[in-house]
Amino acid sequence: MKVLVTGGAGFIGANFVQQTVRERAGAHVTVLDALTYAGDRGSLAPVAERVELVEGSITDAALVDRLVSESDVVVHFAAESHNDNSLDDPSPFVQTNLVGTFTLLEAVRKHGTRFHHISTDEVYGDLELDDPAKFTPETPYNPSSPYSSTKAGSDLLVRAWVRSFGVPATISNCSNNYGPYQHIEKFIPRQITNLIDGVRPRLYGAGLNVRDWIHVEDHNAAVWAIIDKGQIGETYLIGADGEKNNLDVVRTLLELFGRDADDFDHVADRPGHDMRYAIDATRLRDELGWSPRYTRFHDGLAATIDWYRANEAWWRPAKAAVEAKYARTGQ
Ligand code: NAD
Ligand code: DAU
């Protein structure tokens, strides 16, 4: 099977490529990645000899057409992915998330290629802290940020291309991932690398916002379950019942580093900050038989800390610039 992975040099995509090469002997993987600030060849180093990396943009129609014509399945991870960056400059989010997804859809339409679109639970907006509800595939779209609105738009493009043109596509909307190779602009790796440097973690606002954490390997196992057994045209929500507020996550990290429970700072809140995300993954569990392997968040975090300690050369070059950018917004 020839698999084209867009965004395969980013966090989730690189883990997907590594898992695919490890677990699927018959798969031939090509990665299309623009190697933006979030993409890193080094994230594919362990499998470099078994993967073809094409440096280019998903908005390049001629390149996308050629690569899609040579593929059996396209797994579309490429995106601008960070909410804080989308508040600073939404423009690349519109280009990559909307125009890039459109460009891929036109190519898979022309070649009749199986397409799986990776999306986020943020398309549903947020929930109140005391709401017993979780997101389901029927929850109305209500995105809050430039990031989540461009992801919502990309999902709607996929749905329209399925219905209007019969494109053989599926969509998955996943909750917050953690694990190795996550960019240090994101919450968990930012705090881990701060703690390695002896710097106090930074909590936006009161820290009561809830995220539904899932290990990246569990996300990617679900993606393969959908590609193998999912129904064309369906949306699957991916989540592992991992709701935690940000304060609890910081306190767990402090405990794992042997630091005092109050050894962190509150900083400026994110404008429009979503309060809570929570996924109901019943369809994925019941129809496709998926279940998460990482059920103990504490252990998953400890392993993630070990990875960042052992791979300082991977993240260190970006650290000063990431922190300088946060300093400009008081975060
Ligand atoms: P990331 O920012 O770590 O990686 C994105 C990758 O896409 C990078 O390698 C980057 O170079 C590449 N890219 C960006 N613009 C491109 C373009 N125009 N052409 C080709 N490549 C381009 O992101 P991530 O956290 O790995 O997220 C991957 C996907 O998963 C995204 O679609 C995101 O919306 C979705 N998602 C992420 C999470 C999460 O918690 N991180 C959760 C649910 C869904
Ligand atoms: O829900 C899925 C989404 O999860 C994905 O679609 C996004 O691509 C991914 O980035 C993530 O979005 P969040 O905005 O939830 O993730 P982030 O890591 O930026 O922040 C997680 C929470 O931590 C959020 O409530 C903001 C807070 N935060 C973040 C940073 C960087 C802090 O308190 N301090 C920080 O330093």
For residue range 232-285, what is the model confidence (pLDDT) as tens digits?
A: 999 999 999 999 999 999 999 999 999 999 999 999 999 999 999 999 999 999
Please check whether residue 127 is in contact with residue 179, taking contact to mean a CB–CB distance below 8 angstroms: no
Taking the centre of ligand 2 as the mean of its atom positions, its distance from the CA of residue 265, in whole angstroms, is 17
Residue 91 is predicted with a pLDDT of 98
Relative to beta strand 210-212, strand 202-204 is unpaired
Q: Which residues, in sequence order, are bridge partners of residue 120?
A: 174
Residue 115 is predicted with a pLDDT of 99
What is the average pLDDT value for the chain, to the nearest integer?
98
Tell which atom from ligand 2 comes closest to the C-alpha of 273: 25
Residue 267 is predicted with a pLDDT of 98
What is the distance between the alpha carbons of residues 31 and 34, in angstroms, rounded to a whole number?
A: 10
Which ligand ends up closest to the CA of 329? 2
163 burial level (CB within 10 Å; 0-12, 13-18, 19+)? exposed
Per-residue tokens: 103: 């460009």
Residue 213 is predicted with a pLDDT of 98
Residue 119 is predicted with a pLDDT of 99
Residue 122 is predicted with a pLDDT of 98
DSSP H helix total and E strand total for the chain: 12, 13
Please check whether residue 250 is in contact with residue 264, taking contact to mean a CB–CB distance below 8 angstroms: yes
Which ligand ends up closest to the CA of 135? 2
Q: Please indicate whether residue 123, judged by its CB atom, sits closer than 6 Å to ligand 1.
A: no
The residue assigned the tokens 């709607």 is: 156
Q: What is the pTM of this model?
A: 0.99
ipTM greater than 0.95: yes
Q: Please indicate whether residue 217, judged by its CB atom, sits closer than 6 Å to ligand 1.
A: no
Below-50 pLDDT ranges, the chain: none
Residue 63 is predicted with a pLDDT of 99
Residue 274's alpha-carbon distances to 142, 145, 269, 270, 271, in angstroms, are 11, 9, 11, 9, 9
Tell which atom from ligand 2 comes closest to the C-alpha of 145: 14
Tell me the best of 36, 37, 82, 83 to mutate to test the pocket of ligand 2, counting ligand atoms within 8 Å of each CB and taking the most. Answer: 83
What is the distance between the alpha carbons of residues 226 and 229, in angstroms, rounded to a whole number?
A: 5
Taking the centre of ligand 2 as the mean of its atom positions, its distance from the CA of residue 14, in whole angstroms, is 19
Taking the centre of ligand 2 as the mean of its atom positions, its distance from the CA of residue 144, in whole angstroms, is 13
Residue 52's alpha-carbon distances to 6, 33, 77, 104, 221, in angstroms, are 12, 11, 16, 19, 22
What is the distance between the alpha carbons of residues 274 and 246, in angstroms, rounded to a whole number?
A: 12
Query: Which of 165, 177, 198, 303 is CA-nearest to residue 240?
Result: 177
Residue 80 is predicted with a pLDDT of 98
Tell which atom from ligand 1 comes closest to the C-alpha of 32: 20
Residues with CB under 6 A from ligand 2: 81-83, 120-122, 175-176, 186-187, 190, 202-204, 209, 211, 246, 270, 277
Catalytic residues: 121-122, 147
Residue 105 is predicted with a pLDDT of 99
Please check whether residue 79 is in contact with residue 7, taking contact to mean a CB–CB distance below 8 angstroms: yes
Residue 330 is predicted with a pLDDT of 95
